[in-house]
A and B are shown apart, each in its own frame.
Chain A
Amino acid sequence: QKEVEQDPGPLSVPEGAIVSLNCTYSNSAFQYFMWYRQYSRKGPELLMYTYSSGNKEDGRFTAQVDKSSKYISLFIRDSQPSDSATYLCAFTIYNFNKFYFGSGTKLNVKP
């Protein structure tokens, strides 16, 4: 079983739609949960970062963590064409020596 599973997409939605991106993980030692956004030919940039179960909101983005189900989600409200990118979930344990990434979901928001 892979430590992190993420649907690769691509996911295509109209502008203004609510987008839901998901990852599952198998390692119970994961304590920190992150979402990165990667535009084509650029490095990943951190969007959201949390360490507890529940929801965390930042503007149009909401990160949700369910540790009991080993499942995390990223919701994007009022999606914009500028949100078109690949979204990567990432996990790490307490010492941050190693980060585990999902394979990324490619999102396309059509105007």
Chain B
Amino acid sequence: DTAVSQTPKYLVTQMGNDKSIKCEQNLGHDTMYWYKQDSKKFLKIMFSYNNKELIINETVPNRFSPKSPDKAHLNLHINSLELGDSAVYFCASSQEPRAGGGEQYFGPGTRLTVT
């Protein structure tokens, strides 16, 4: 069973389009994250959600809108896609520290190419 899954794995689209990436975790974790990894492998946090509530928004353009319908899902919607949005997007989850957590589990990534 996949712990953290993302769909789609690859996404090729044109500038100006709107697209969504879905993430699901079956680990029972409380916190979920979205990261962007650029071509130089730099992994930068975008959003962090705890129990469906947004707790971190790292100066991401408001064209990016995360949505957490429940604790196990964190989706990412991107409006008006730009060339600079091309990257690999990773979803991750972790348990709360007081529950003995901290270890982050990453999904396989979604490779977004904007042409």
Residues of A in contact with B (beta carbons under 8 Å apart): 8, 32, 34, 38, 41-46, 49, 86, 88, 90, 92, 94-101, 103-104, 106
What is the chain A residue whose CB lies nearest that of B91? A43
Residue pair B56, A97 in contact (C-beta under 8 Å)? yes
Q: Which of B11-19, B67-75, B95-103 contacts A (4 or more CB under 8 A)?
A: B95-103
Closest chain-A Cβ to B97's Cβ sits at a distance in Å of: 5
Other contacts beyond A44-B43, A88-B41, A101-B43: 14, CB < 8 A:
A8-B40, A34-B104, A42-B108, A43-B4, A43-B108, A43-B109, A49-B103, A96-B102, A98-B45, A98-B48, A98-B58, A101-B44, A103-B40, A106-B41
What is the chain A residue whose CB lies nearest that of B49? A97
Residues of B in contact with A (beta carbons under 8 Å apart): 4, 31, 33, 40-45, 48, 50, 55-56, 58, 90, 92, 94, 96-97, 101-109, 111
Tally the A-B contacts, defined by beta carbons under 8 Å: 62
For the complex, give the distance between the alpha carbons of A8 and B43 in Å.
13
Closest chain-A Cβ to B43's Cβ sits at a distance in Å of: 4
Residue pair A41, B56 in contact (C-beta under 8 Å)? no
Closest chain-B Cβ to A104's Cβ sits at a distance in Å of: 4
Query: 11 A-B contacts, Cβ less than 8 Å apart?
Result: A43-B109, A46-B104, A49-B103, A96-B94, A96-B96, A96-B101, A96-B102, A97-B50, A98-B48, A101-B42, A101-B43
